Amino acid sequence: EKHYGRDHVYVDYDMFMRAMDADRVVVEKGDMLLLHTAFTVEVMAMSKKPTDRIHAMCCVLDGRDEKLLQWISDSGISALIADNYGVEAVPARPGKGDKHPALPLHHHCLFKLGLNLGEIWWLHDLAMWLRKAGRSRFLLTAPPLRLPGAVGSPATPVATV
């Protein structure tokens, strides 16, 4: 939100790096990377009466950007978490050729890397606190429910600053 506002913007590798550089964010192997887009703030402001804007608001990662996917692979992060409902654009930009994954970032992270994704997390309060404190690092615990063989599980995240 801080860098690209609340309009629907596809964030590619170069845009992502500029935002991280501007905020002096350092990502290390094993980190869980959280992305604040203000999507959940917008949803809550709709007071249970969503408008069509819900399908095209706030920034999303461009899952078709090969450089971004490669950075995710090389970064060694253990989870990629956002306050929107897909981390990437849903639906994704059209792919090249006849066969391509509908959600390329999901395909890359979940199936190729075994990397956990977190969606629709309330990050606003944490993001505002970190911004005010000039920080980007904190301890995050987010144990999922024990559901062997399940496709997904709600987490109970707690950030300690």
Closest CA to 35 of 67, 64, 66, 68: 68
- Each of the 161 residues of the chain gets a pLDDT tens digit; together they read 889 999 999 999 999 999 999 999 999 999 999 999 999 999 999 999 999 988 889 999 999 999 999 999 999 999 999 999 889 988 888 888 778 889 999 999 999 999 999 999 999 999 999 999 999 999 999 887 777 766 677 788 999 99
> Which three-class secondary structure state does DSSP give residue 144?
strand
Distance, in Å, from the CA atom of 36 to the CA atom of 142, rounded to the nearest integer, reads 17
Strands 79-82 and 139-141: unpaired
Residue 139, beta-bridge partner list: 160
Q: What is the pLDDT of residue 22?
A: 95
- The domain locations on the chain are 10-160
Q: What is the pLDDT of residue 149?
A: 67
Q: CATH fold of 10-160, please? A: Glucose Oxidase; domain 1 (3.50.30)
CA distances from 156 to 70, 86, 109 (A): 29, 18, 21
Asked if residues 83 and 57 have their Cβ atoms less than 8 Å apart, the reply is no
> Which three-class secondary structure state does DSSP give residue 76?
coil
> Which three-class secondary structure state does DSSP give residue 33?
strand
